Amino acid sequence: MYVLGIDGGGTKTKGVIADHLGNVYASKTVGATNQNGVDIHTVESELSNLFTSLKSQNREVFSKLHTIFAGMSGVDRPEAKEAMKEILLNLAPSHVNIMIDNDGINALYSGTLGAPGIVQIAGTGSITFGMNRNGERKRIGGWGYLIDDEGSGYDIGRSALHAVFKAFDGRGPKTVLTEMIHQHFNVSVTPGLIQYIYEPGKSRSVIAPLSKYVSEAVDKNDEVAKEIISNASGKLANSIGSLCGQLFKNDKNEQPIPVVLVGGVFNRDDLFLRKIHENVKMNVRLIKPELEPVDGAVIAALKHANKEIDLIFLENMKRV
């Protein structure tokens, strides 16, 4: 049986055709397909490019597709989901079963291999999403950088800038983050940062990458950076613990709740995992997934086709 998993986001979209053993027959990455960020004609064009490439890589397998699972950002509104389904119906073979869902499912299943649990996404932004054994779902956070996205790259980068300006004013302790961020923007004095930080329309993309300097500053034993990481870990732990309590409070299963950690913030899991585990007040098992989110979409497609996921599948997908 052949399935197609699609992971669609605001930056890129990836599709993978695989079978229940994890053998991959076609793979392609195209541009953004989040309807909140690009118009529907762009979405249609990008998905058309995706399907054309997948079909050309293996026409026979493409013609025998059983199920398509598209985990897409920006399809929470019914009209957006319907628009996405119409596009896919026009691109896929007529006999294919098409499932469209939130891209949080992709990220979750990339770590749990199709089992219920929680996924904490912390990249430029952050969101906590989960599903229990009864199929009940809930999300926490992810309300945008102006009011939320706690523990995200943006949140950490903003805290670094806050610390640098407080040090400049004498309101806070000195920190090696000052020199690091000065060098990043090629400025000699802290006020020179303002023109870059407040450049119209670019604050989020400018500030989020600064989070890497906080990790580097921790390696230099900087107390300010340590405090920033500790605070970010506490925020993430609070979201995870809250969602676990809401979704799994009546769970009689004594096994730890799987919590999948996805996103660039967790590239330095040595700084975050222990602190998160210490602060979550429930029995959880933190997972750094070995598969990509698009592989989670493949798993979701197989689940909808009533196919079991086993170790052979995992090993074959990991080798791709």
Determine, yes or no, domain membership for 256.
Answer: yes
Kindly state the helix (H) or strand (E) to which residue 192 belongs, with its residue range. none
pLDDT band at 319 (very low <50, low <70, confident <90, very high): confident
Quickly count: other Cβ atoms within 10 Å of residue 219's Cβ.
12
Residue 285 has what pLDDT?
95
pLDDT band at 281 (very low <50, low <70, confident <90, very high): confident
Report percent pLDDT > 90 for the chain. 86
Q: What is the DSSP string of 259-276?
A: EEEESGGGGGHHHHHHHH
Is it the case that residue 182 has pLDDT exceeding 90?
A: yes
Residue 143 has what pLDDT?
86
Verify that 128 and 244 share a domain, yes or no.
yes
Residue 206 has what pLDDT?
95
Q: Look up the CATH number of the domain holding residue 13.
A: 3.30.420.40
Verify that 205 and 187 share a domain, yes or no.
yes
Taking only the tens place, the pLDDT of each residue in 127-165 is: 999 999 999 999 999 888 889 999 999 999 999 999 999
Verify that 60 and 178 share a domain, yes or no.
no
Tell which residue, 219, 275, 261, has the closest CA to residue 123. 261
Kind of pairing, strands 24-30 and 13-19? antiparallel
pLDDT mean across residues, the chain:
94
Verify that 277 and 185 share a domain, yes or no.
yes
How long is the chain? 320
Verify that 77 and 96 share a domain, yes or no.
yes
Quickly count: other Cβ atoms within 10 Å of residue 47's Cβ.
24
Q: Is 114 left (phi over 0), alpha (psi -120 to 50) or beta?
A: left
Number of domains, the chain: 2
Verify that 173 and 302 share a domain, yes or no.
no
Whole-model pTM: value is: 0.89
Is it the case that residue 215 has pLDDT exceeding 80?
A: yes
Kindly state the helix (H) or strand (E) to which residue 285 belongs, with its residue range. strand 284-287
Range of the domain at 303: 2-102+291-318
- List alpha helices for the chain, DSSP H: 40-57, 59-63, 78-91, 104-112, 153-169, 177-185, 194-197, 203-207, 211-219, 223-248, 269-279, 293-304, 311-318
Verify that 88 and 226 share a domain, yes or no.
no
Determine, yes or no, domain membership for 108.
Answer: no
Taking only the tens place, the pLDDT of each residue in 21-60 is: 999 999 999 999 999 888 999 999 999 999 999 999 999 9
